[in-house]
Structure 1
Amino acid sequence: MSTPMRLLHTSDWHLGRSFHRENLLDAQSRVLDHLVETIHTEGVDVVVVAGDLYDRALPPVDAVRLFDRTLARIHATGARAVLISGNHDSMARMSFATELIDASGVHMRSSMEGVGAPVVIDDEHGPVAFYGIPYLEPEIARHHWHLTERGHPAALGHAMDLVREDLAGRPGTRSVVLSHAFVTGGEPSDSERDISVGGASHVPRSLYDGVDYAALGHLHGRQTLSEAVRYSGSPLAYSFSEEDQVKGYWIVDLDASGLAGAEFVRAPVPRALARIRGRIEDLLNEPGWERFTGHWLQITLTDPRRPAQPMDRLRERFPHALVLDFAPEGGGPERRPVTTKIAGRDERAVVADFVEWARGAPVSEEESALVDTAVEKIRLQEGGH
């Protein structure tokens, strides 16, 4: 019985990223541990990583070490790896020493010069050509290839023309394209960087017609645009808009005729996240909210008036609360414009009026005492000059 070539499709690792100032390196390390375990358990032959390996062009040292360690572990499994740079990565830096690294079976494709030149990997059914198309900045690509049209569709369309031209000279060869782009029909999240600068941000799915599998990166939710065109999504959630997304990677099989099937493997969730809302006393006291005490939280308070020290109080019950918003029921108290002249008025009265206008409630006795102290200190300093 013949054995298909098995791929693991992943993308958007964003190593070095933080989540509302929370360091994610440990969480990313745990997910990549699982990815390596999946390579073992699923018998993966080739790992394809479709861009945004790092979160920024100059990643922190710890992120580089994690990336280096992960590539070494992938290599140790016996699997090959093909990777491309994304819009968060530095194309020039990621293309360093690629010929030398190729010898290890890890193939980084991060230059326009390499588009259309595949990594060819053989199995019992023959060759499979892996074409890496890194994220293409439209204006840079236009000048490099002397294109007459602007925008992402023109740049990626030309890249795919180069792929098809090469593939036409390889009859019977199966093909996989790695591409980092926003394909029409994909659903974005809040955590993706806008790539609309330089022309239209979307490219049509039809650009990938004619290849056996297109492994996409950029959008952070797993998505199936067609059987042969898929986003793996990021292996971790990077915004609260991703709270309902299932994270992981695609396991893709290629048999003698091409795509034979794809199955999604879930990644572990180091810490769940959620968005909750309600009045502060309800959130602090009602038993139903207890299940969120271990989550990273975005909390929206609906109290008619802004409570005092809300985040400190909320973190006593929800220690991982990260974001606090206010959406008063009924729109909250009327916000009157500050039109009163302040010339000649006591500073304490001006501050008190501002606080009441800003939050819809008068200053407390404790706050008033703090204002008195601050005003006296200012007057003493002014009197000393």
Structure 2
Amino acid sequence: MRILHTGDWHLGRTLLGADLLGHQSVFADFLVDTVRERSVDLVVIAGDVYDRAIPPVDAVRLLSRTLERLAETATVVLTPGNHDSAARLGFGAGVMHDRVRILAEPAGIGAPVLLTDDDGPVAVYGIPFLHPDLTRYALAEVPDEPLARSHQAVVGAATGRIRADLATRPGTRSVVVAHAFVGGAAPSDSEQDIRVGGVDQVAASVFDGIDYVALGHLHGPQRVGTGDRIRYAGSPLAFSFGERHQRKSVTLVELDADGTVSVELVPAPVPRRLVDVRTTLAAIEAGEHRSDVDAWVRVAVTDTVHPERMYARVKDHFPHALAITHEPADRQERQTARAVTATSDPVEVAADFVAFATGAAPSEDDRAVLTEAYEAAVLALHDDRGR
């Protein structure tokens, strides 16, 4: 069976204020063409289809059109990610066309989409993003005995249900589409923090016994562990300058009769490159970086003194500049604050602020309060997305 694995589309996202929907539409066309040209049987989309729980109307229209086109030639299975609202993305899943299956309900994790090719049956299971506080009761074997408050516990319970179902299907190959942070993989700086109890990862061993695990959440395409059995497809576009060197792609998987896999990464189109420029304004105006005029650029002007009309003069040469800052060459000699990125631990950021504001590092009790407040806010956010 030929499978195309993708995910983390984040439809509706912007990049430093720049609208990405047109570029995402280019990717959608590329995806549909690839599925048709490579005779793909199954398309799996591993979550974060939208960038937020209530996406823009144009993003919804783009997803609708793309699913319709994909379903003309392949079966499509998708699961919600932590950016999606599982309830909204899964609306109408029970009455959708057989060629488009949205696996959004934790209660249905053990019920696969069953497909057949010349080599026999394939069971495709979906594990949506599982927030421990929202699913540790629903996935517990005993209703009054909730699972441990961790991603490891809830994802482990989910895969336990999958293995139990597989045990009733001898000779059936298996594919799991999951949205999670699996240990051993490398994050980017544009992914949303999902820590609960200070931990955001699950062990790769929870997927033991599965032939292919199609992961979403991390934006860099990569394998987990040795071999290609567990992979992240990565995002189709760069969503931060930290991702500018990643080679974006979709993952084409050949699932053989014995359950072994072979993988080909098909490069995704790059509608506009991301480039960092760090130089003097005189060098920019002299045309030293003219090859980057069509790129999205992040410009750091290194003149010792802030140039007059710096922003306007840079924009004259880089019409697609997304960020323009003045960073004198001697800046390294000055005291600077630690940068906060999407991968920073929010509790540590808050602790740094407490230390800055009070002149003393927070106590263990203070840290406990900060952790409780942060996790309550995250729970409220995901609870709202689930409605």
- Tell me the amino acid that sits aligned with residue 309 of structure 2: Q
| RMSD over aligned Cα atoms | 1.5
What is the TM-score normalised by the length of structure 1?
0.82
Residues 120 and 128 in structure 1, CA contact (< 8 A), matched pair in contact too: yes
Aligned position for 1:170 = 169
Q: Structure 1 pair 334/212, CA: closer, same or farther in 2 (3 Å)?
A: closer
1:243 paired to 2:244: yes
Aligned position for 1:131 = 125
Distance 1:332 1:183 in 2: 36
Q: Matched residues, percent identical? A: 47
1:312 paired to 2:312: yes
1:26 paired to 2:25: no
Aligned position for 1:141 = 135
Distance 2:208 2:334 in 1: 57
Residues 139 and 147 in structure 2, CA contact (< 8 A), matched pair in contact too: no
Aligned position for 1:187 = 186
1:95 paired to 2:78: no
Aligned position for 2:382 = none
Residues 152 and 199 in structure 1, CA contact (< 8 A), matched pair in contact too: no
Distance 1:244 1:68 in 2: 31
Distance 1:235 1:56 in 2: 17
1:254 paired to 2:255: yes
Largest Rg, 1 or 2: 1
Gaps of 5+ in 2: 141-145, 336-387
Residues 139 and 198 in structure 1, CA contact (< 8 A), matched pair in contact too: no
Q: Structure 1 pair 205/325, CA: closer, same or farther in 2 (3 Å)?
A: farther
- Tell me the amino acid that sits aligned with residue 113 of structure 1: A
Task: List per-residue Cα deviations over 1:292-339 (Å, max 9, x = no partner).
Answer: 11110111222222222222110111110001233322228979xxxx
Gaps of 5+ in 1: 336-385
Distance 2:60 2:137 in 1: 31
Distance 2:333 2:306 in 1: 10
Give the stretch that moved more between structures: 222-231 or 275-284: 275-284
Shift of 1:255: 1.5
Residues 249 and 265 in structure 1, CA contact (< 8 A), matched pair in contact too: yes
Shift of 1:169: 1.1
Task: List per-residue Cα deviations over 1:254-309 (Å, max 9, x = no partner).
Answer: 1110123110001111111111211221222143x111111101112222222222
1:207 paired to 2:206: yes
Distance 2:241 2:102 in 1: 31
Q: Structure 1 pair 28/70, CA: closer, same or farther in 2 (3 Å)?
A: same
Residues 304 and 333 in structure 1, CA contact (< 8 A), matched pair in contact too: no
What is the TM-score normalised by the length of structure 2?
0.82
Q: Structure 1 pair 334/71, CA: closer, same or farther in 2 (3 Å)?
A: closer
Residues 34 and 267 in structure 1, CA contact (< 8 A), matched pair in contact too: yes
1:294 paired to 2:297: no
Distance 1:141 1:220 in 2: 25
Shift of 1:95: 1.8
Distance 1:174 1:200 in 2: 32
Distance 1:250 1:196 in 2: 27
Which of 29, 32, 37 is residue 33 of structure 2 equivalent to?
37
Shift of 1:36: 0.3
Distance 1:291 1:43 in 2: 38
**3-state SS, counterpart of residue 66 of structure 1:** helix
> How do residues 1-385 of structure 1 correspond to structure 2 at under 5 angstroms?
5-76=1-72, 78-101=73-96, 103-146=97-140, 147-225=146-224, 226=226, 227-287=228-288, 289-331=289-331
Residues 152 and 198 in structure 1, CA contact (< 8 A), matched pair in contact too: no
The higher relative CO (CA closer than 8 Å, separation ≥ 6) is in: 2
- Segments of 4+ in structure 1 off by > 3 A? 332-335
Q: Structure 1 pair 291/49, CA: closer, same or farther in 2 (3 Å)?
A: same
Distance 1:260 1:194 in 2: 31
Distance 1:91 1:198 in 2: 23
**3-state SS, counterpart of residue 143 of structure 1:** coil
Number of residue-to-residue matches in the alignment: 328
- Tell me the amino acid that sits aligned with residue 320 of structure 2: H
**3-state SS, counterpart of residue 277 of structure 2:** strand
- Tell me the amino acid that sits aligned with residue 255 of structure 2: L
Distance 2:161 2:195 in 1: 23
- Tell me the amino acid that sits aligned with residue 124 of structure 2: F
